[in-house]
Amino acid sequence: MFMKKSIIASALALAMFCSSGVAQDKNFSLSNKEPQAGESVGINYNPKGTALEGKKKVTVTVYQFCNYQWQTNDVVMEKKDSLWTASYLLPENASFAAFKFKSGKAVDVGQSMAYGWLLFGKDGKNMPGAYAGWAFLRNASVPEMFPDFSKDKFLIGDDVVVYWMEQQLRNQPYTRRDIFYPHLKVLKKVDAEKAKKAALRDIDYMKSLPDLTERDLKNMQRVYAEVLERQASADSMGRMIAAIDSAAIKRLNPEKLAAVKALGAERDYRKLLPMTISFLDRFPMDKADRAFDIANRIDYVKFYSNIAIVASVEKDSVTFKKYVAQAPFGSLSTIFYKCMKVPYVSLKSFTAAEAFVYAKPMMDRLLTFNDAKPDGFMDVYMDNAGVYSDILMHLNKDEQALGFAGAAQQKYEYGNSPLNEVSAILLERNGQQDKLKFVLESSMKKNQMTPLMLEMLKKNYISRNKSESGYDTYLSSLKDGERNAELQAKVKKSMIKKTLPEFSVKNNKGQMVKLSDQKGKVIVLDFWASWCAPCKAAFPGMKMAVEKYKNDKDVAFFFVDTQENRKDYEAYVNGYLKDNKFEEFEVLFDADAKVSKSFGVGPIPHKMVIDKNGALRFSEVGYMGSPSELVDEISMMVELARKSD
């Protein structure tokens, strides 16, 4: 009954959809109701009644189905009265186009139906592949043909996909060679016996073609393996492909080397992306002459890494997913770092939802190597499981997040404060108080606590003891005396005594601050910049230190904003402090780095402690990642500087 209803609905949709080639909607239209591939078309969007109503900026991502592969382009729209408009040139080989309108996190892919359009050729007929594009836009049964247009809205069943495939075969029978594999793969899920009969018929048809391509042979191999389940025939086809490929591959080596040199010479990363994709299409990794590649230092790890990095920067998730799903194991560590850790952890340019779009394909690809476990697999897995668990936690995927956090703790053993905080939040959120206590105490013993975790530790103690009494003694008992002694010895050993030049700079309150005016106080200087992710990562620990000494008139903290490359740095700094609750920080503006250079500061973050006589006693570069350890280190420096002559 369900299949019958679905097909009836599809038939009605087909009558409406194909009569004009358009998904009619009051919010969306094109300037031409029968848009032609290769021509410009006007895009009109009225956000009234949608999630984008009232937004100040709207962009549209255009999904184009070209030669049975999805391509995307982002287009900025211009507002005219109540409409947002844009002009767009459709590719000559596009058969179908879909439109996703966006503003920040808000997205609109359609109201009554998806914003999609079957495209026409110059003969006035639908372009070959139009029906397949409309079907696979909304169904993931053939993953390589499913874009990220919508994960949950307007999705259709496999029976409906089969219906659209049959419509294409009926109206465009010459496209059978292009869709016979995806058609049969979905048909098998609907009716396995019918699929096997159709597969035998279609393979006979394919064998009759005089101009079989490598793509045709691979599709035949996949049908043998996945639809007919004849592995011997699939293996035989594989050997045939390999034999054909071997000589052809060697003939292409000179062209390949020239293409590699062209890639190496290109400096525009936007041009590099299509060039690298074209390279992999022409010289696929699984068809490489390994000896030639080694001799000429041709590295596919680099090619896949470059595609993933540029695609993530351009927020081209379709390209990213396609090539990460093929990426060699050796590329994944770099891809994780550049496409997950940098934007999500360091720059914070991705929200958890945005990061998940890229992080999930990375983790999925990594886990395909789980059975083989190549050298370094567990290191890559555990290095990235913690950040992935953080992303999952923010998306309320707690069960998965706990699993990945637990895996990461096998490596870090509570020696990583960001991971410890994720573990603690998840356990508290899921009512696992005993495990929470263990995580908090273990983290405290490693001195890898965040401000939030210290609050949770106190809350957990009071909940168990029904009183705050004895908490300070309990807290002290958790600290590892040996670890604390090692830190104390390290700090003492790093103590120096150097004279410093005078400075006079403006603070974030518009006042001039002179070093000589601070004589008699212990001064803590934290050199940082708006672009420096590790500098900002240290701020929670520095805030704890500031709060510890806030009532001590003999200790002062200054956060020296230096080495700036942005013109609006003062406004940015004030906004950043307010947004992140660091408003108690007194910032000194040293944008041209005159003060930092005169103090010998190079890489940042760089912290200095000056004694009451104006002598430099401590000078430390970098941040090790633990707020609680940082406040202990700063406190030791302050107290030693206070006692110095």
Please give the structure tokens belonging to residue 96: 């179908």
User: Which residue ranges of the chain lie beneath pLDDT 50?
Assistant: 1-20, 22
Would you tell me which CATH number, out of the four given (2.60.120, 1.25.40, 1.10.1760, 1.10.20), belongs to the domain 268-445?
1.25.40
- What is the rounded distance in angstroms from the CA atom of residue 279 to the CA atom of residue 289? 14
* pLDDT tens by residue, 217-227: 889 999 999 99
CB 513 within 8 A of CB 506: yes
**What are the distances in angstroms from CA 642 to CA 504, 513, 524, 610, 612?**
23, 21, 12, 9, 7
Q: What pLDDT is attached to residue 318?
A: 93
Cis status of the peptide bond prior to 254, with omega within 30 of 0: no
pTM: 0.62
Q: What is the DSSP string of 11-27?
A: HHHHHHHHHHTB--BTT
Q: Is 55 exposed, middle or buried (0-12, 13-18, 19+ CB in 10 A)?
A: middle
Burial call 83-95: b when 16+ CB within 10 Å, e when fewer = bbebebebbebbb
**Every domain range in the chain assigned CATH 2.60.40.10:** 2-188
* pLDDT tens by residue, 546-589: 999 999 999 999 999 999 988 899 999 999 999 999 999 999 99
Phi, psi of 110 (to 5 degrees): 150, 155
Which amino acid is residue 115, in one-letter code?
Y
**What are the distances in angstroms from CA 424 to CA 353, 459, 474?**
21, 12, 19
Would you tell me which CATH number, out of the four given (1.20.120.140, 2.60.40.10, 3.40.50.1820, 3.30.420.240), belongs to the domain 2-188?
2.60.40.10
Output the CATH code of domain 493-643. 3.40.30.10
Number of other CB atoms surrounding residue 54 within 10 Å: 10
Q: What pLDDT is attached to residue 489?
A: 95
CB 37 within 8 A of CB 119: yes
What sign results for the dihedral spanned by CA atoms 583, 585, 588, 592?
A: negative
**What are the distances in angstroms from CA 588 to CA 135, 559, 595, 602?**
59, 6, 10, 17
Alpha-carbon Rg for the chain in angstroms? 31
**Every domain range in the chain assigned CATH 1.25.40:** 268-445
Number of other CB atoms surrounding residue 513 within 10 Å: 18
Q: Which of 415, 413, 440 is nearest to 425 (CA)?
A: 440
**Every domain range in the chain assigned CATH 3.40.30.10:** 493-643
Q: Which of 197, 205, 218, 140 is nearest to 176 (CA)?
A: 205
Q: What pLDDT is attached to residue 401?
A: 96
Q: What pLDDT is attached to residue 9?
A: 45
Q: What is the DSSP string of 419-482?
A: HHHHHHHHHHHTT-HHHHHHHHHHHHHTT---HHHHHHHHHHHHHHHSS-TTHHHHHHHHS-HH
